[in-house]
């Protein structure tokens, strides 16, 4: 995913197809000011890849005058970790999220996760939760339940919508709603944002305590 993609997702006019421009981040920004939670948004980046989702998130927050601090990055692929270390030399890159002791994770306000898409992709076997990678969503659920961050952003392939006749997507939504998060979901194609690829992705944004 291109680095500007998430930034555009939050701020450009095409976002108005689903929610009002900037409503999600602006409402979060206002809650920070009202509650004086911290001087910056602390976030974790799961299944980080080379950090594209993080970069877009940081750009979006900077546009609104919000400081950010990454308190955890989790990634297992060696080539991706190498790039992450080059881009963030002062940070420790953690490995397998299933092996990270949750007691060692600092409190955070926002969760980012482009969780593995192969089990849901049209290009794969579409084994869903029957594929070990497909169960990694439940690691997200585990951290959301324990830390109760104010918001999250999840990314996956559009096939997640239709996998198992929609039951997989409904299960994920039920889990998120059961934790008290209101969600917005939409599809975006990178070709609509100046990227020479026809790459459609599903985005799920959640805000704690909303409907």
- Catalytically active residues, by annotation: 117
Question: Beta partners for 81?
Answer: none
Query: Which among 48, 62, 18 has a CA at the least distance from the CA of 188?
Result: 18
Question: What is the length of the chain?
Answer: 211
Pairing of strands 151-157, 200-208: antiparallel
Question: Beta partners for 208?
Answer: 181
List strand residue ranges (DSSP E) for the chain, in order.
41-46, 68-74, 93-94, 110-113, 151-157, 181-189, 200-208
Pairing of strands 93-94, 68-74: parallel
């Amino acid at each position: 995913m291109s680095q500007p993609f998430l930034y555009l997702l939050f701020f450009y006019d095409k976002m108005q197809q689903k929610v009002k421009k900037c409503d999600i981040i602006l409402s979060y920004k206002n809650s920070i000011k009202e509650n004086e939670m911290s001087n910056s948004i602390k976030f974790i980046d799961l299944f980080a890849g080379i950090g594209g989702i993080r970069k877009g998130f940081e750009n979006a927050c900077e546009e609104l005058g919000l400081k950010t601090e990454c308190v955890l990055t989790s990634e297992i692929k060696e080539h991706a970790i190498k790039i992450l270390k080059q881009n963030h030399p002062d940070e420790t890159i953690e490995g397998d999220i299933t092996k990270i002791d949750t007691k060692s994770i600092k409190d955070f306000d926002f969760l980012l996760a482009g969780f593995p898409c192969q089990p849901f992709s049209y290009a794969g076997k579409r084994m869903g939760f029957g594929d070990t990678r497909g169960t990694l969503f439940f690691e997200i659920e585990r951290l959301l339940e324990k830390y109760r961050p104010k918001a999250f952003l999840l990314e996956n392939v559009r096939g997640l919508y239709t996998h198992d006749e929609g039951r997989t997507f409904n299960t994920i939504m039920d889990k998120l709603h059961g934790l008290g998060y209101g969600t917005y979901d939409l599809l975006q194609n990178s070709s609509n944002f100046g990227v020479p690829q026809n790459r459609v992705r599903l985005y799920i944004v959640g805000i704690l305590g909303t409907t």
